[in-house]
Structure 1
Amino acid sequence: MQTEGAAPIAATERHHILDALRGWALAGVLMANMAVFIGFEIASEPERAAGIGSQLNDIAELLIEWLVVGKFYSLFSLLFGIGFAVQLNRLEQRGEGVPRYVRRLAVLFLFGCAHLFLLWLGDILALYAVMGCVLLLFRKVGDRALIRWAIFLWLVPIGWSALIHFADINLADPIYGAAMRGFAAQGIDLTMSPAAWYNSADYAAQLASHPSEVLLRIGDLTYQMRPTKVLGMFLIGLWIGRRSLFAATATTRPLLVRTVKLGLGIGLPLSLARAVLHMTAGDNHALRFLEEALYCLTTPTLALGYAAGFCLLWSGGAQRVLAWPAPAGRMALTNYLSQTLIQTLLFTGAGLALANVFGLAFVLPFTAAIFGCQVAVSGWWLARFRFGPAEWLWRSLTYGRAQPMRLARPGDIVAA
């Protein structure tokens, strides 16, 4: 029976450490995405060489591929799983449970579709919503089985990569082909000059091409077998959320220490090898398979090492420094979407068209400037309002009524 007066959770029920970790993950996602927005991923070698500071491109690419790419999205996936455990438990205590959570995921899927079709093909929200529904199937699975499933799901893409490179079986190819036919129907040839199309000021024409871009995204997710990777991190997060392992206590500290040692000790050197292969493998199928296999092995281990190290530092006296981005983490949906909007206005033809003007090393100062502003604005906003704008809409649609927005007093209800 549904409990009357269902509403988001109160501020006193939140875990500040998760907001802070989510904030740092958001900064890492911004950096990884900016490597695309700044034009580096689509530029030809002459275009890359013409950018300001291009002499630092190689070292910047190595560092980003080594320490950033994949790791912070994996942290987000981990936090999603933790949040799932916490939220579903509270919903069930209120007598709501799965139906309310499915509605929450449906609204998130709509956000993702709007992000995909109106702004950028790199959206992750729609995939999170779909895999969140799959995650519901695991809510009664035991802890040991969760870990086994998580490991299996991260190993599946290795076999998938072997089929692509050694058996010439690539189910992403037909999807890529359909996308290219869609572009061709509009007179767009991305193989000739993708940067020129990216810098086009004709937003209406770009908007018309977004369905084809969505097909490119689906093809990319299929090639990477990203759904299993995301679900694998969801399951680890669910396991952590059940046990509240994100808090470094006398009981959890030994496990966190082991996770740091294994995660960083194995993840850092192997991820460095993977980054080198990413930059040098070219069309060599054996090397590309090795690079993709190392990605599957190192990304979750390094992400878990980051998370465990963060928890240990938090309890060891660094909380004041680490908590700096917590306001942005509380408004993660708003900030994730606004990052796309800001980068679109900075780097594409819809705005200042700065793509390929700067070398890849400028990702760091641009990320610091944008994210610093987001943290400041988020702090200002949350001192006055319960929710970020996107979070307010998400929760209002989830609960079927407009949520009270203005903050009446400190400690009132905030975004979950």
Structure 2
Amino acid sequence: MNATSIPQSADDVLNETGSAAVAVAPVSTGERIDTLDFIRGIAVMGILAANIIAFGQPFEAYMYPAAFKGDPGDPGGWMWIAQFILIDGKMRGLFTLLFGAGMYLFMEKAWARGASRGLQAWRLVILMCFGMVHFFFIWPGDILFYYALFGFVALACMKWSVKTQLWVGLGGYMLGALLLAFTIFPWLIVDTSFGEASPELLEQRAGMIAEIDNTLARGDIPNAAIAAGDYGTLVTHRITEQWYEPLTNAMLFGFETLPLMLVGMALYRMGFFNGGFAREKLLRWGWIGVIAGALAHLAIGLAVQSTGFSYYGTLAGFVGMSPLPRLWMALGLAALLVAYAPGATGWVGDRVRAAGRAAFTNYLGTSVVMMLVFHGWALGLFGQLNRPQLYIVVALACVLMLAWSKPWLDRYRYGPLEWLWRCLTYRTVFPLKK
């Protein structure tokens, strides 16, 4: 649903014990993998498009259009279908692949300087803390926590062979897709004739329909607090009533997150991100994955549309039906971006790369900006914008990301939060200004 920062390479000078030395070398242009920065930049902007509905409307509206406060402004649900095809889950998939690649890149350089995996583990602890702050005090759509959580598992798999990482990752993803398919059954019971096959199923149908109102009602307090600008009530509710959600989110998304981390590690080691694959193959298989995945998503979207974008229909579409075509599209998009990134050398391309270099700051910073746009203590637009208007907010926020990132990185070595994360990782205050 939503997306996270991607660890950049550790180009710091380490002593023989793996701790930080006093002098730390900045990341030089030649040491960076330019393609990773470009894909990060695309993904960090795309993730906002995926999350914008949950920022500006009740969280449930992310999947379920009827949860909008007012008219969604989407006759026929075609914008819902377009976002479902092009954005939802794909940007998160890209981020997860890059997270795995970034973890291995970090450790590759750390190992070369005598460090152990303990350095990466400490880095993940810090990331988990960032995630907790994000969830409780800024926005509950955080994924940093479970990225860090499953990062610990991926860390234990780093010395596996490339083939093992790749096939365990792909196999684990397939198994997760099968397990998540259970969410299709509530849709069959409530919205199709299957639920009329027996008195027992009819009874289950009645209970499931009643549960929809209960589920939506759980958002009443935080939604009212956001609209009223009652930040204290909002944070208190998250701490006392929603404290368990980072763990339940981890359980739900873990079927995707850990496998894609392993696949990302394997792809990095195979040279996928830095010229190890022929461009013709990247284009061919990239377009096959994107087109096949898009067509499958279209079929799912039309099926959900046929039942009027019902609660259980949208749940089944997002969670139960889309994992496999989402994998095709995430891998296809990654291949296409790798193929096209070297040609993106103009003004826009440079700024996209800069946004990717500051992906951590842009991800968390976007959540803060959305608070300023939607919370009642600021602009107070929560629940007042329909889907097309929310997409305008996305466009303006992307312009902001592109506008600040490059000028900042022309003057400073890292993005603000990238610098803070680095300082906390090595327990040293590094120079920020170039």
What TM-score results when the alignment is normalised by the length of structure 1?
Answer: 0.83
Alpha-carbon separation, structure 1, partners of 2:80 and 2:93: 19
Residues 239-278 of structure 1: pairs in structure 2 closer than 5 A? 239-248=266-275, 251-278=277-304
Gaps of 5+ in 2: 1-15, 188-210
1:308-361 CA-to-partner distances (Å, cap 9, x unmatched) read 11122224x333244431111111111111110110111122422212222111
Residues 44-83 of structure 1: pairs in structure 2 closer than 5 A? 45=66, 48-50=69-71, 54-55=73-74, 58-83=77-102
Q: Is the 8 A contact 1:40 1:359 kept in 2?
A: no
1:147-206 CA-to-partner distances (Å, cap 9, x unmatched) read 2211222223333234555599xxxxxxxxxxx9xx99xxx9536676434312111111
Alpha-carbon separation, structure 2, partners of 1:348 and 1:278: 31
Match in the other structure for 2:43: 25
Alpha-carbon separation, structure 2, partners of 1:404 and 1:46: 47
- From 38, 44, 49, the equivalent of 2:56 is 38
Whether 2:140 is the aligned partner of 1:112: answer: no
Identity of aligned residues (%): 27
Alpha-carbon separation, structure 1, partners of 2:89 and 2:67: 27
1:46 CA drift (Å)? 8.7
- From 265, 269, 288, the equivalent of 1:238 is 265
Gaps of 5+ in 1: 169-179, 408-416
Alpha-carbon separation, structure 2, partners of 1:208 and 1:333: 26
Matched positions, count: 384
1:114-172 CA-to-partner distances (Å, cap 9, x unmatched) read 1111111111111111111111121121222222211222223333234555599xxxx
Match in the other structure for 1:342: 369
Alpha-carbon separation, structure 2, partners of 1:269 and 1:218: 33
Alpha-carbon separation, structure 1, partners of 2:312 and 2:374: 32
Residues 8-407 of structure 1: pairs in structure 2 closer than 5 A? 10-11=27-28, 12-39=30-57, 41-42=59-60, 45=66, 48-50=69-71, 54-55=73-74, 58-163=77-182, 190=218, 195-211=223-239, 212-222=241-251, 225-248=252-275, 251-279=277-305, 280=307, 282=310, 289=316, 292-315=319-342, 317-320=343-346, 321-407=348-434
1:57-104 CA-to-partner distances (Å, cap 9, x unmatched) read 822211111110110011111111111121111000000030111111
1:121 is matched by which residue type in structure 2?
P
Alpha-carbon separation, structure 2, partners of 1:267 and 1:292: 15
1:2 is matched by which residue type in structure 2?
T
Match in the other structure for 2:17: 2
Seen in structure 2, the aligned counterparts of structure 1 residues 214 and 362 have a Cα distance that, compared at 3 Å, is: farther
Alpha carbon RMSD of aligned pairs, Å?
3.0
Q: Is the 8 A contact 2:184 2:316 kept in 1?
A: yes
1:257 CA drift (Å)? 2.9
| 3-state SS, counterpart of residue 199 of structure 1 | helix
Q: Is the 8 A contact 1:50 1:357 kept in 2?
A: no
Alpha-carbon separation, structure 2, partners of 1:191 and 1:107: 29
| 3-state SS, counterpart of residue 344 of structure 2 | helix
Match in the other structure for 2:205: none
Seen in structure 2, the aligned counterparts of structure 1 residues 194 and 129 have a Cα distance that, compared at 3 Å, is: closer
Alpha-carbon separation, structure 2, partners of 1:230 and 1:305: 17
Seen in structure 2, the aligned counterparts of structure 1 residues 322 and 214 have a Cα distance that, compared at 3 Å, is: farther
Higher mean C-alpha displacement, 303-312 vs 56-65:
56-65
2:27 is matched by which residue type in structure 1?
A
2:406 is matched by which residue type in structure 1?
G
1:385-413 CA-to-partner distances (Å, cap 9, x unmatched) read 11211111111110011111111xxxxxx
Q: Which protein, 1 or 2, shows the higher relative CO under an 8 Å CA cutoff with sep ≥ 6?
A: 1
What TM-score results when the alignment is normalised by the length of structure 2?
Answer: 0.80
Q: Is the 8 A contact 1:56 1:360 kept in 2?
A: no
Seen in structure 2, the aligned counterparts of structure 1 residues 200 and 157 have a Cα distance that, compared at 3 Å, is: farther
Seen in structure 2, the aligned counterparts of structure 1 residues 265 and 165 have a Cα distance that, compared at 3 Å, is: closer
Alpha-carbon separation, structure 1, partners of 2:352 and 2:323: 28
Q: Is the 8 A contact 1:333 1:390 kept in 2?
A: yes
Alpha-carbon separation, structure 1, partners of 2:134 and 2:219: 25
Q: Is the 8 A contact 1:2 1:95 kept in 2?
A: yes
Higher mean C-alpha displacement, 329-338 vs 257-266:
257-266
Seen in structure 2, the aligned counterparts of structure 1 residues 272 and 385 have a Cα distance that, compared at 3 Å, is: same
Match in the other structure for 1:172: none
2:122 is matched by which residue type in structure 1?
R
Q: Is the 8 A contact 1:245 1:252 kept in 2?
A: no
Alpha-carbon separation, structure 2, partners of 1:194 and 1:240: 41
Alpha-carbon separation, structure 2, partners of 1:189 and 1:383: 48
Seen in structure 2, the aligned counterparts of structure 1 residues 199 and 49 have a Cα distance that, compared at 3 Å, is: closer
Alpha-carbon separation, structure 2, partners of 1:268 and 1:163: 22
